Amino acid sequence: QDIHAPQLINHVIDRFEMTTKNQDIQFKRKLPDEPITIQGDRDKLMQLLDNIVSNSVKYSPEGGTINVSLKVEKERIVVSVKDEGVGIPKENIEHVFDRFYRVDKARARNLGGTGLGLAIAREIATAHGGNIWVSSDWGKGTTFSFSLPYVQQEAVVEQ
Ligand code: ATP
Ligand code: MG
């Protein structure tokens, strides 16, 4: 399936903007204007992004900004979702992609969920030949990124 990556991202973020209207959260997008076509399962890739963005919404403070970006690298695209939330402590960070793992059981229980979102996200990313990773500053925010293979089309010059 041919997927237009910026369009897919816009679609997912548009939906979150509608459902978070009564929360004071702002989305900022940094996406290339040119079409970037990747290969994959559209529903699955939407779920991958959805799982990451739903976490950043869940753990964002009132008035928080969520930055979503797409960067084109040599043979892959990298999508990043950066929030200004509570962050993830260093000692927990290597486990967040494990099934049923949740950092603070009490806090997490209040916010709902099963601890499967990121495990599923990782499965989808690797099934597409990509990767997923996280960096976080405890108390300052968290950035989740994933990459997907992308072969840049050579420009065709009409004679
Ligand atoms: P589910 O996604 O199944 O509804 P969940 O959100 O708790 O439940 P995951 O999405 O797998 O599960 O996330 C695992 C844990 O990682 C979360 O419980 C939370 O502790 C931590 N986490 C994930 N994203 C963030 C984030 N953006 N900021 C802070 N902590 C996070
Ligand atoms: Mg989740």
What is the rounded CA–CA span in Å between residue 121 and residue 141? 19
Residue 115, SS3 per DSSP: coil
Supply the residue whose CA is at minimum distance from atom 10 of ligand 1: 117
User: Is the confidence metric ipTM above 0.95 for this complex?
Assistant: yes
The pick from 52, 55, 94 for probing ligand 1's pocket by mutation, whose C-beta has the most ligand atoms within 8 angstroms, reads 55
What is the rounded CA–CA span in Å between residue 148 and residue 158? 30
- Antiparallel, parallel or unpaired: β 141-149 and 76-83: antiparallel
- Confidence (pLDDT) at 14: 97
User: Which ligand sits closest to the CA of 104?
Assistant: 1
Tell whether ligand 1 has an atom less than 6 A from the beta carbon of residue 57: no
> Which two tokens mark 22?
């009564």
> Whole-angstrom distance between the N-terminal and C-terminal Cα of the chain?
31
Low-confidence residues of the chain: pLDDT under 50: none
What are the tens digits of pLDDT across the range 59-87?
A: 999 999 999 999 999 999 999 999 999 99
Closest atom of ligand 1 to CA, residue 101? 14
User: Which ligand sits closest to the CA of 82?
Assistant: 1
What is the rounded CA–CA span in Å between residue 38 and residue 130? 12
- Confidence (pLDDT) at 151: 87
Tell whether ligand 1 has an atom less than 6 A from the beta carbon of residue 108: yes
- Confidence (pLDDT) at 106: 56
What is the rounded CA–CA span in Å between residue 56 and residue 34? 27
- Confidence (pLDDT) at 103: 85
Asked if 70 contacts 9 with a C-beta cutoff of 8 angstroms, the reply is yes
This prediction has a pTM of: 0.93
Give backbone dihedrals phi and psi of 120, rounded to 5 degrees, phi first.
-65, -40
